[in-house]
Amino acid sequence: MHSSKLFSAVLAAGAASVVSAASNACSKDIKVTTPNPVISCEVVDANVIVDESVAGDLLLNGPKQITGDLIINNATQLISIQSSTITSIGGNFELDSLELLSTVNMQALKTLNKLNMVKLPQLNTLIFGTSGVTKANDIQVTDTFLSDLSGLNINSVDSLTITNNNKLTSFNSDLVNITTLLSVTSNGNNMEINMTKLQTAAEIQLSNVKSFVVPSLKTITQSLKFDTNPQLVTFSAKNITTIGDSVTFINNNKLTNVSFPLLTSVGDLTIQNNTALGAVEGFPKLQTVSGGVILRGNFDSVELPSLKDVKGGVTVFSTTDISAFCGFFNDAKSKKIIQGQESCKSNVKTANEGGSDGDSSTSSGKGSSGSSGNNTDNAVAALNVNNVLLGVSVIAGMAQLW
Cα–Cα distance list, 147 to 51, 122, 172, 188 (Å): 28, 11, 12, 9
137 phi and psi angles, rounded to 5 deg: -95, -55
Integer Cα distance of 68 and 26 in angstroms: 11
Helix locations, 115-258, DSSP H:
none
* pLDDT value at residue 135: 83
Of 37, 41, 64, 62, nearest to 49 (Cα)?
37
Per the document, the length of the chain is 402
Cβ proximity of 145 and 126 under 8 Å: no
In sequence order, what are the beta bridge partners of 177? 156, 200
* pLDDT value at residue 394: 35
Cα–Cα distance list, 386 to 155, 173, 340 (Å): 69, 66, 33
Is the pTM value of this prediction over 0.75? yes
Sign of the C-alpha dihedral computed for residues 275, 276, 281 and 283 taken in this order: negative
Integer Cα distance of 365 and 322 in angstroms: 11
DSSP result, 317-376: EESS--HHHHHHHHHHHHTTSB-S-EEEEBS-TTTTT-S--TT--B---SS-TT--THHH
* pLDDT value at residue 59: 97
Integer Cα distance of 130 and 107 in angstroms: 7
Under DSSP, the state recorded for 124 is -
DSSP 3-state of 117? strand
Amino acid letter, residue 63? P
* pLDDT value at residue 146: 96
DSSP 3-state of 192? strand
Reading the chain (402 residues) residue by residue, the pLDDT tens digits are: 444 444 444 344 333 333 333 443 489 999 999 999 999 899 999 999 999 999 999 999 999 999 999 999 999 999 999 999 999 999 999 999 999 999 999 999 999 999 999 999 999 999 998 778 888 899 999 999 999 998 888 888 999 999 999 999 999 999 999 999 999 999 998 899 999 999 999 999 999 999 999 999 999 999 999 999 999 999 999 999 999 999 999 999 999 999 999 999 999 999 999 999 999 999 999 999 999 999 999 999 999 999 999 999 999 999 999 988 899 999 999 999 999 999 999 999 999 986 544 433 333 333 333 333 333 333 333 334 344 333 434 334 433 333
Integer Cα distance of 249 and 271 in angstroms: 5
Of 299, 349, 288, 341, nearest to 324 (Cα)?
299
* pLDDT value at residue 355: 55
* pLDDT value at residue 364: 36
Burial (Cβ within 10 Å: 0-12, 13-18, ≥19) of residue 74: middle
Integer Cα distance of 220 and 213 in angstroms: 15
* pLDDT value at residue 74: 98
Integer Cα distance of 185 and 206 in angstroms: 5
